[in-house]
Amino acid sequence: MALTKRWAGRVWGTNVGNVFVTLEGEDAALTGTLRINEPSVGIAVYAVQGTFDAPP
């Protein structure tokens, strides 16, 4: 099962704002960019990497 390559949404907690993730690669070797836009602070950009194992 392939993981969707673009994600968008909202976060609430210590940080509150919009979140956007873009992923590249296959499930066993994913890389991408995570952006959090917190209105009172600005935009934080993170490089991410990991794997995805689909549930049976």
pLDDT for 41: 93
Residues near 12 by beta carbon (within 8 Å), at least 6 away in sequence: none
State the Cα–Cα distance between residues 12 and 22, nearest whole angstrom: 20
Please name which of 28, 29, 23, 22 lies closest in space to residue 53, comparing C-alpha atoms.
28
Domain ranges of the chain: 13-50
pLDDT for 1: 58
pLDDT tens digits for 5-40?
999 999 999 889 999 999 999 888 999 999 999 999
Indicate if the pLDDT at residue 3 is higher than 90. Answer: no
pLDDT for 35: 97
pLDDT for 7: 94
State the Cα–Cα distance between residues 28 and 34, nearest whole angstrom: 18
Q: How far out from the chain centre does Cα 45 lie?
A: 10
Tell me the pairing of strands 17-26 and 29-38.
Answer: antiparallel
Mean pLDDT of 36-52: 95
